[in-house]
């Protein structure tokens, strides 16, 4: 593995907040019979075995954005809530909460599913959803899409084909997922986004 990537991940790990171990996404009514793989549900306290959450900001790369990731209750639901000031100053511009599937770049096979489902609550701002796979070596390589989070709980779906590769030519290999992250991204604003559940849907 690329030495630079290892050093960046190590730096990010050292700077993370308290880990939590335990447009395309318009809200719809999804049939209850549809199966899905729940990865994290803060309403009932479920976490996919071996998975965990970390929160960090562009400070791991010299930026000055502020991030805070905490367990919370928002509008009657238990969740994790990412808040902070996002700024492009000092060559920065992001804060994020990221779900990992284990240590040592463990992978999750999502090939039997159509995409990612979120139950989110926001503050009338755009947020990014980023996916990293084992093909992503350089720190800025990922597959990305954007969604608008209203100040109400919304269940949103993002099919794999809605993600666009950044600095990577390989198509998204959903059999080799390593990280899924929600970000306040690359503009000046106050981020406040909560997540009650994340799943893969079929």
- Tokens 């562009």 belong to which residue? 58
- The whole-number mean pLDDT for each consecutive block of 10 residues of the chain, a chain of 202 residues, reads 32 39 40 78 96 95 96 98 97 96 90 98 98 94 98 98 97 98 97 98 97
Q: Residue 96 in contact with residue 160, Cβ under 8 Å?
A: no
At residue 91, the 3 state secondary structure works out as helix
| Per-residue model confidence (pLDDT) at position 105 | 80
Cα–Cα dist 200/30, whole Å? 13
Q: Is 71 left (phi over 0), alpha (psi -120 to 50) or beta?
A: beta
Cα–Cα dist 164/145, whole Å? 7
Determine the structural domain holding residue 182 and report its residue range.
3-201
| Per-residue model confidence (pLDDT) at position 104 | 72
pTM, two decimal places: 0.85
| Per-residue model confidence (pLDDT) at position 139 | 86
| Per-residue model confidence (pLDDT) at position 34 | 66
CATH number of residue 42's parent domain: 2.60.120.430
Is the C-alpha dihedral spanning 52, 81, 153, 26 positive or negative? negative
Total domains present in the chain: 1
| Per-residue model confidence (pLDDT) at position 26 | 40
């Amino acid at each position: 593995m690329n030495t630079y990537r290892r050093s960046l991940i190590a730096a990010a790990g050292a700077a993370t907040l308290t880990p939590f171990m335990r447009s395309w996404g318009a809200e719809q009514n999804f049939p209850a019979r549809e199966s899905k793989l729940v990865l994290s549900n803060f309403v009932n306290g479920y976490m996919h075995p071996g998975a965990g959450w970390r929160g960090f900001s562009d400070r791991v790369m010299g930026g000055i954005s502020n991030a805070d990731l905490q367990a919370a209750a928002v509008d009657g639901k238990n969740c994790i809530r990412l808040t902070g000031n996002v700024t492009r100053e000092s060559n920065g511009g992001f804060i994020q909460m990221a779900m990992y599937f284990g240590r040592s770049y463990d992978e999750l096979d999502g090939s039997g599913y159509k995409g990612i489902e979120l139950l989110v609550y926001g503050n009338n701002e755009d947020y990014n959803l980023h996916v990293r796979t084992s093909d992503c070596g350089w720190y800025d390589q990922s597959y990305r899409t954007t969604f608008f989070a209203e100040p109400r709980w919304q269940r949103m779906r993002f099919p794999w084909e809605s993600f666009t590769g950044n600095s990577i030519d390989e198509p998204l290999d959903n059999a080799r997922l390593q990280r899924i992250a929600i970000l306040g991204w690359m503009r000046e604003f106050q981020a406040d986004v909560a997540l009650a559940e994340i799943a893969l849907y079929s």
